[in-house]
Amino acid sequence: MKEVIRSQLFQLFKNKSKLYVLIGLIAFGIIELIFAMGETQEGATASQCVRELLPMIIMFLPFFTGIAAGDIAAKDFDDKTVYYEIMSGRTRRQSYFGRVIVALIYSVIGSVLIMVIPIAVAAVLYGWGNDLTVGQAVLRMSLLLFPVIRLICAAFTLSIIIKKSVGGLITGLICQYISLSIYADQGLLAEKDSLSLALTTMYRLLNIRSRYTYGLSDIKMRIIYDPTMHISEIAGIIGVSMLFAAVYILVGYVFFHKDDLN
Amino acid sequence: MIYKDILHIALVIVLAAVLFWAAGYSKKYRGAFWRLLYIAPGLLLMFIPAYAGFEKTMILAYIGTVLLFLGFFTDKTAVRRILCGSAAAVTLLSVPAALSSKAYRKPDFLVSFEEGFDEMKARYVLTEHKQINWDELYSKYHPQFVKIQNDHDEIANFAAWRRFCGEFHDAHVGYIPKDDSVVEMAMKKLFGNDYGLCILCLEDGSAAAVDVSDEVKAKGIHNGTVITAWDGMTPEEANLRSDAYGLLSYSDIDNEYFFRTELAAGVGGDTVEVTYIDDNGQEQKTMLSANGDRYYDRWEKAIMDKLDGGLNIGHLQWKKLTDETYCLRIKTMSYDSDTYTSTDYSKMKNELKEYILNAKKEGMKNIILDIRTNNGGDPYLCDAVAELVAAKGTYFHAYDAVWDFDNKCYAKDENGNYIRGDKLTVRGEDILDGGKVIVLVNHNSVSAADDMVMLMRRIPNATVMGFTESCGVCQAISSFSVDSGTICLSSCVVLDEDGSIFVDAGPDRQAKTKLDIRIPFDEEALTAIYDRGEDYLLDKALEQLANR
């Protein structure tokens, strides 16, 4: 498996297209930050970005994970590299899980960079603020990685099944549609913040509980955010995401293992 | 069952049939396609709970879908067919399971209570002022909600929430169930049977019949007849025995005392024995029969309409009562959507001013502001009206409380009291040139209407009158949702001139919204309202103006 992983990493650095997608999305996040915070009337802060900007960035994350995971999963079917790998003595398990590991590592690291860099830029430019603490933001962004892993596994599995990298892109497009329907409140889903889908899990993490009060003299609304999370909620997010991720990978492996690879 | 669940079950059955057939067919015609077909149940399992919402009583359907999906992991025809058959059977069992469960697609009442309780405890700004003992409340109500969840009784849930909210004696604390049809169902059930009358207490302490039906009149009881016993109890005792007791919460104890018999005439079985004093002063007994569980309808008519109705004209409409006196009806403290989100009521004020100036040319001197059963809203409307009619001078309205932006809470001093912030005042324009203002209120004049009462009592040319004081709540509200409904509560602090809580009563349940003139609810008032259909309070207001 180590050779499979090494060869996949070599391909990653040789073929820069995925890297350009990653850089593009990071740049997009920073541009969104400057644009969105520039329109904020007063007191833009990094903690505000976590609440307002991160949901926008997250909507495009499935594209990145889809393209990255799909490419790593299925690109080698085009030039038959997979066949030669297996014919050269690698087991299907090594071939499959080697790619899974690389897809997960690359996509997770990329996702972290996409989420963190714009927020870090915001912290440097505007200060952190007090909508939520750094610890609370780190917790939420860390928990976001679990549904992201679920998405990565889904994209990987679909690409393996259809033996085309475009499987990842298809996953990204479906996720985009679902994300838009969640945020536009179209009523497609019964609950926008359930653990049923990775995207609803992400919505739950990004939609911080709040309450409001207002002054009599200025009737300005004061919103108070409550970013605390219960242990059961955290356990649910991690457990359900990992369960689905494991099922996707298992399905992909069973298919790959029995497939005649034609 | 909802159509989404039926769709789920139907899809599983159809897939089970297809995959049952495919299990044998794919043996002859091997290929990836047949293996992929078995992923379909997996996709169903992923999207259906998101589309329809996860439901515990549909667990058999989810298990059936998983069984079907397991066919993906084996190539053996026999195993696949057994899985298909099992999946179909288990899924079909979910139909009677869901239909026979009271909890099917119902909110979790216990979780809703626990979440709502925690949220209220965090947000309620009058905990110290009213000396709320949260632990005691939890101990009292948590067992009730455990039972309610077990029984899945929507009506009991609504009633328990109403009683819980009633413990705060704060009309701003309330619960609205998600399914609002439950409110009417609950009220009708809990208010009890209609025996053809309501009972209200008169000024002398006697309990008198009001809104008496013709059937009951034939038995010798009419409007004003004193009722001395109801179903073997005094009317006050019967009131306490009503299933609806506690659903109607009064912030001020004087208002609660006024209505201490309003629920009595709904208590009883198929018949009820009533003891009354006849027109000759003799005590008599009679049996009254129940006419269905319609006491709520009679109560609404007798209390909400006839007693509390207010002048029957539109909101912010005028009525000329006499050459010198006009009445402005204010049903709610809002004008339009633009003004509600700002503090600028100049448009409304100019309209009222124009009317008053024109009316003055025709002889208007005095104004009656009818804010009976005013459901509150924007205090700035009160300011705008008060500025027009108040004698010249500057009058205190209220203090805003200081907000601690760092700690996201209201600031408190070293003694734990809220700190006064911006001061709101009103400058009188005396558009009436010394004319008088009477403000008519009742116990349903709420929130910003209480605001107006406090303001008007500071104005020398204004007099507040009514049978009962206004409601007695003035802290601004916010709301939040739980699974079973919406909860609103006082969460924005308003302070009085001395820094104490504005209007709302403490543990003594005496709100600050007092009357300048209390009109006694006596036989004369009862007869005028229930026999002659007159607006007795309005007539008394005119009398007051004429006597000045």
* B309-326 pLDDT per residue, tens: 899 999 999 999 999 999
- Measure Cα distances from B145 to A260, B482, B515 in Å: 59, 14, 39
Q: In the prediction, which pLDDT does B361 show? A: 95
Closest CB to A213 among B119, B424, B491: B491
At B102 the pLDDT is: 86
Least confident of A202-206, A237-241, B260-264: A202-206
Q: What distance in Å separates residue B53's CA from the closest CA in chain A?
A: 5
- Amino acid present at B453: V
Q: Are B332 and B272 contained in the same domain?
A: no
ipTM surpasses 0.90: no
Based on the domain organization, do B325 and B274 belong to the same domain? no
Q: Which residues of B touch A259 (CB under 8 A)?
A: 32
SS3 B348: helix
Residues A61-89 have a mean pLDDT of 85
**Which two three-digit tokens encode residue B100?**
């026979």
Q: Rounded to whole angstroms, how far apart are CA atoms A251 and A257? A: 10
Concatenating the DSSP letter of every residue in B525-540 gives: HHIIIIIS---HHHHH
Q: Are residues B295 and B391 in the same domain?
A: no
Question: Token pair of B240, please?
Answer: 């306490």
- CB of A237 within 8 A of CB of A147? yes
Q: Does B422 contact A215 at a Cβ distance shorter than 8 Å?
A: yes
Residues belonging to chain B with any Cβ–Cβ distance to chain A shorter than 8 Å: 4, 32, 35-36, 39, 42, 46-47, 49-54, 72-73, 75, 119, 123, 341-343, 379, 398, 400, 403, 405-406, 408-409, 421-422, 424, 476, 478, 480, 491-492, 494
* The residue type at B462: A
Closest CA in chain A for residue B38: A251
Interface membership of A188 toward B (CB under 8 Å): yes
Name the residue in chain A with its Cα closest to that of B119: A211
Could you tell me which residue, A163 or B502, shows the higher pLDDT? B502
Cβ distance A258 to B424 less than 8 Å, yes or no, reads: no
Question: Would you say B254 and B469 are in contact if contact means Cβ atoms under 8 Å apart?
Answer: yes
- What lies within 8 Å, CB to CB, of B30 at 6+ separation is none
Task: Give residue B219's pLDDT.
Answer: 94
B426 neighbors B455 (Cβ within 8 angstroms): yes
Average pLDDT over residues B227-231: 96
The reported pLDDT for the residue numbered B195 is 97
Q: How confident is the model at residue A41 (pLDDT cuts 50, 70, 90)?
A: low
What residues does B366 pair with on adjacent strands? B325
pLDDT at A190 over 80: no
The β-bridge relationship of strands B409-410 and B403-404 is antiparallel
Contact A196 B49 (CB under 8 A): yes
**pLDDT for the residue numbered A252:** 92
Q: Among B67, B99, B131, give the residue marking a domain's end.
A: B99
Residue of chain B with shortest Cα separation from A212? B478
Q: Which residue has the tokens 């009149």?
A: B217
State which amino acid sits at residue B281: G
C-beta separation of B97 from B127 below 8 A: no
User: Which residues lie below 8 Å from residue B140, measured CB to CB, with a gap of 6+?
Assistant: none
If one counts every other C-beta atom within 10 angstroms of the C-beta of residue A219, the result is 17
Based on the domain organization, do B355 and B475 belong to the same domain?
A: yes
Residue A256, token pair as written in the block: 């790959």
My answer on whether B362 and B441 are in the same domain is yes
Cα(B268)–Cα(B238) distance, integer angstroms: 9
Looking at CA atoms only, how far is residue A213 from chain B in angstroms?
6
pLDDT tier for residue A186 given thresholds of 50, 70 and 90: low
Cα separations in angstroms, B426 against B165, B262, B459: 34, 39, 10
Residue B501 located in a structural domain: yes
List of chain B residues whose C-beta atoms are within 8 Å of the C-beta of residue A224: 408-409
CA nearest to B93, candidates B55, B52, B61, B56:
B61
d(CA A197, CA A191): 10
Query: Among A200, A212, A247, whose Cβ lies nearest the Cβ of B50?
Result: A200
**What gap in Å lies between CA A189 and CA A177, rounded to an integer?**
12
Tens of pLDDT, residues A120-170:
988 888 888 878 889 989 999 999 999 999 999 999 999 998 888 888 888
Provide the residue range defining the domain that includes A121: 2-258
- SS3 assignment, position B158: helix
Query: Of the given ranges (B5-14, B32-41, B250-259, B263-272), which has the lowest mean pLDDT?
Result: B32-41
- CA–CA distance, B72 with B127 (Å, rounded to integer): 59
Question: 3-state DSSP helix/strand/coil percent for chain B, to nearest 5?
Answer: 45, 20, 35
Compute the distance between CA of residue B505 and CA of residue B323 in angstroms, rounded to an integer: 40
Residue A225: predicted pLDDT = 85
**Chain A residues closer than 8 Å to B36 by CB:** 161, 255
The total of other beta-carbon atoms located within 10 Å of residue B508's CB is 8
Q: How many domains does chain B have?
A: 3
How confident is the model at residue A165, as a pLDDT?
A: 84
> CB–CB of B53 and A190 under 8 A?
yes
Is the CB of A14 inside 8 Å of chain B's CB atoms? no
State mean pLDDT over B269-287.
95
Q: Is the confidence at residue B531, as pLDDT, over 90?
A: yes
Contact assignment for B73 to A216 by CB distance below 8 Å: no
3-state SS of chain A is CHHHHHHHHHHHHHCCHHHHHHHHHHHHHHHHHHHHHHHCCCCCCHHHHHHHCHHHHHHHHHHHHHHHHHHHHHHHHHCCHHHHHHHCCCCHHHHHHHHHHHHHHHHHHHHHHHHHHHHHHHHHHHCCCCCCCHHHHHHHHHHHHHHHHHHHHHHHHHHHHHCCCHHHHHHHHHHHHHHHHHHCCCCCCCCCCCCCCHHHHHHHHHCCEEEEEECCCCCCEEEEEECCCCHHHHHHHHHHHHHHHHHHHHHHHHHHHHCCCC
Query: Cα(B506)–Cα(B497) distance, rounded to whole angstroms?
Result: 17
Examine the fold and report which residue of B306, B338, B368 is the final residue of a domain before the chain moves on: B306
A187 CA: distance to closest CA in chain B (Å):
9
Mutate to test the interface with B, among A216, A230, A240, A259 (most CBs of B within 10 A): A216
- Residue B86 tokens read as 């099992």
Say whether A212 and B35 touch across the interface (CB within 8 A).
no
Of residues A194, A216, A247, nearest to B50 (C-beta): A194
Domain housing B443: 310-519+532-547
**Residue B548 confidence class, pLDDT cut points 50, 70, 90:** low
Task: Say yes or no: B69 and B218 in one domain.
Answer: no
User: Mean pLDDT over residues A107-117, rounded?
Assistant: 91
How do B494-495 and B393-401 pair as beta strands?
antiparallel
CATH assignment of the domain containing B542 = 3.90.226.10
**How far is Cα B191 from Cα B169, in angstroms, rounded to an integer?**
20
When pLDDT is cut at 50, 70 and 90, the band that residue B191 belongs to is very high
Minimal-distance CA residue of chain A relative to B125: A213
Q: What integer best gives the mean pLDDT of chain B?
A: 93
Q: What is the pLDDT of residues A217-250, one digit of tens each?
A: 766 678 888 888 889 999 999 999 999 999 999 9
Confidence band, pLDDT 50/70/90 cuts, at residue B49: confident
CB B303 within 8 A of CB B368: no
- Min Cα distance B50 → chain A (Å) is 5
Query: Is A247's CB within 8 Å of B51's CB?
Result: no
pLDDT > 70? residue B289: yes
State how far residue A183 is from chain B, nearest Cα, in angstroms: 15
Tell me the average pLDDT across B183-189: 93
| pLDDT over 70 at A58, yes or no | yes
Two structure tokens written together for A182 = 């969640």
Lowest mean pLDDT among A19-33, A40-54, B482-496: A40-54
Q: Among candidates B107, B223, B311, which has minimal Cα distance to B530?
A: B223
- Domain count within chain A: 1
Lowest mean pLDDT among B26-35, B417-426, B439-448, B490-499: B26-35
Q: Which of residues 201-220 of A touch B (CB under 8 A)?
A: 211-219
Binary contact (A216, B424; C-beta < 8 A)? yes
What CATH code is carried by the domain that includes residue B283?
2.30.42.10
Q: Are residues B470 and B449 in contact, defined by beta-carbon separation less than 8 angstroms? A: yes
Q: Which residues contact B495 (CB under 8 A, 6 or more apart)?
A: B398, B399, B400, B401, B418, B420, B501, B502
Measured distance CA(B60)–CA(B90) in Å, rounded: 6
Structural contact between residues B421 and A215, judged by C-beta atoms closer than 8 angstroms: yes
Q: How far apart are the first and last CA of chain A?
A: 23
pLDDT of residue B486: 96
Domain boundary among B81, B99, B117: B99
Residue B88 lies inside a defined structural domain of this protein:
yes
pLDDT at B26 over 80: no
Say whether residue A194 is in contact with chain B using an 8 A CB cutoff.
yes
The string of pLDDT tens digits covering residues B441-481 is 999 999 999 999 999 999 999 999 999 999 999 998 899 99
Q: Does residue B63 carry a pLDDT above 80?
A: yes
More confident site: B412 or A40? B412
Buried-state track B307-317, b at ≥16 Cβ within 10 A, e below 16: bbbbbeeeebe
Which amino acid does the sequence have at A226?
A: D
Chain B nearest-CA distance from A113, in A, is: 29
Q: State whether B403 and B283 are in the same domain.
A: no
Task: Tell me the shortest Cα–Cα distance from A254 to chain B, in angstroms.
Answer: 7
- Residue A210 has phi, psi (to 5 degrees) of -145, 160
- Which residue is associated with the tokens 């209201």? B410
